[in-house]
Amino acid sequence: MSLFGKKKTAEDIIKEQNRELRGTQRSIARDRADLEKQEKQLEMEIKKMAKIGNKDACRVLAKQLVQLRKQKTRTYAVSSKVTSMSTQTKLMNSQMKMAGAMATTTKTMQTVNKKMDPQKTLQTMQNFQKENMKMEMTEEMMNDTLDDIFDESGDEEESQDIVNQVLDEIGIEVSGKMANAPSTAKGLPTASTSKSRISDEDIERQLRALGVD
């Protein structure tokens, strides 16, 4: 419980532990630095005693140096364990966040499933398909009706008249070269036999009718 009566969450506890582990790492690093300084001082003292020939002092200082180096090695081992604990704590925090995300997702899915009615959803889809089929049928009927209206409007006869006029114009242009050019336009003489030729007067009369001098 905190000072304000608010209960600490698991995430808050993990954060506090991480802060404590970081503080422990800094403390171990400082102790190691102090041991390294003492190690250098002892080495200098041993060399100094060796120069003056004080063997007893050298033995005592050497024992201290061995103990000091063992202690420095222990600091590395402890630091490694603290690092491992810090890593495990971070992994636990990450797993807790994933679990929280999964819990939130589960609640959301439960809410959506409660709101959704499978029967109503299926009925809506079926109604949509039915109405879509009706619309397609109505569109097809309208297209067929329009086609029938346009087919009965006399366009076919008008188109045939245009085709005949074009054929007549082609027949006039090539009448001097073709012996049996057909002619169905009004006002033009009809050939009595398949081997008859169109006279020059007929050609001139047709040209005047088309406005060609």
Gap between the Cα atoms of 59 and 62, Å rounded: 5
Across 70-78, average pLDDT: 91
Report the candidate in 184, 213, 187, 182 with the shortest Cα–Cα distance to residue 202.
187
pLDDT band at 17 (very low <50, low <70, confident <90, very high): confident
What pLDDT, on the 0 to 100 scale, is given for residue 164?
A: 64
Across 14-33, average pLDDT: 88
Least confident of 16-25, 126-135, 144-153: 144-153
Sign of the CA dihedral running 126, 128, 133, 138: positive
Q: Is residue 38 within 8 Å of residue 92, measured between CB atoms? A: no
Residue ranges per structural domain of the chain: 10-117, 154-209
Gap between the Cα atoms of 207 and 173, Å rounded: 10
- How buried is 7 (Cβ within 10 angstroms: 0-12 exposed, 13-18 middle, 19+ buried)? exposed
Distances 31 to 37, 96, 98, 171, 213 between C-alpha atoms, Å: 10, 34, 38, 118, 122
For 145-200, the pLDDT digits (tens) are: 877 776 655 555 665 666 567 667 666 544 444 444 454 444 444 444 434 456 66
For 39-67, the pLDDT digits (tens) are: 999 889 888 888 888 888 888 888 999 99
Choice between 77 and 171, residue whose per-residue pLDDT is larger? 77
